[in-house]
Amino acid sequence: MLIARHNAILEIARQTGRVTVDNLAKRFEVSPQTIRKDLNELCERRLLARTHGGALLSSGIENVGYEARRIISSTEKADIATKVAELIPDNASIFINIGTTTEAVAQALLQHRGLMVITNNINVASLMRGYSQIEVVIAGGVLRHADGGIVGEAAVDFMRQFKVDFAIVGASAIDPDGSLLDYDYREVRVTQTIMENARHVILVADSTKFERTAPVRVGHLSQVNTFVTDKCPSDVIRQITKDEDIGLIETDKNDIS
């Protein structure tokens, strides 16, 4: 039987996507050792997934809720978005796909001029529609109520009509071998089409994506041109970027390799 504190920890994880030992210890006025034991027990039940210093809501087959994803690493996502905006010139054509990090990029691009933005993310379209210097083209298809994503074969067919300068894409998880993963195969089909029809693909993903897993393969890191993250904890991923001549930008270091 789960004790009351376990249930409370799970509820916090559902709301925020992740929990930390230090914050939980302060919240419940218990020792960090007690919280580590709680987290280990919840992880043994596969309700949470252990990370350094805390745990994530277990997400092998189902994504964390949209509002929780917006909260997770929000500062890091804003820094990633600022760096991506520096890479995009005025008067460019851009794909922006589904995701809270790609939405942060859209926010960072609002002062650009002459952009043509093609998106299957209704949140991006809503954000940008009030800016006359940006032309917004939105895909048709099935609207996913959970996060405003537009998916399905109609969206795939729509994206095939374009050949753009840049694609800004996210991923729900990055496997140790460099595979890019997601949860909804319908979304994956759209993302694959976006990547195939862009001259320069920019992957945006914060470092928590290395701690997660998902069941559907989008593609591989070798298929992108630039990878922007807050930090890359994997030597294997670093080697892939070198071998494949991928620009790796880590905002914590504020440089490119």
* Domain residue ranges in the chain: 4-58, 68-256
State the Cα–Cα distance between residues 227 and 170, nearest whole angstrom: 10
Backbone angles phi, psi at 140, to 5 degrees: -95, 165
Q: Does residue 10 register a pLDDT over 90?
A: no
Helix (H, G, I), strand (E, B) or coil at 43: helix
The answer to whether the CB of 198 falls within 8 A of the CB of 167 is yes
What pLDDT is attached to residue 228? 98
Specify whether the CB–CB gap between 233 and 240 falls below 8 A: no
Chain position carrying tokens 């027990």: 41
Q: Supply angle C-alpha 140, 143, 145, rounded to 5.
A: 165
pTM over 0.85? The answer is no
Confidence band, pLDDT 50/70/90 cuts, at residue 13: confident
Sign of the CA dihedral running 33, 36, 42, 46 = negative
**What mean pLDDT is predicted for residues 1-18?**
80
Q: Is the pLDDT of residue 192 over 80?
A: yes
Mean pLDDT rounded to a whole number for the chain: 90
CATH fold group of domain 68-256: Rossmann fold (3.40.50)
Banded pLDDT at 146 (limits 50, 70, 90): confident
Give CA–CA dist 58/88, Å, rounded.
35
What is the second-level CATH architecture of the domain 4-58?
Orthogonal Bundle (1.10)
The pLDDT of residue 85 is 98
Nearest by Cα to 81 from 218, 219, 202, 238: 202
pLDDT tens digits, 75-110: 899 999 999 999 999 999 999 999 999 999 999 999
Question: How many percent of the chain have pLDDT more than 90?
Answer: 70
Q: What is the pLDDT of residue 43?
A: 85
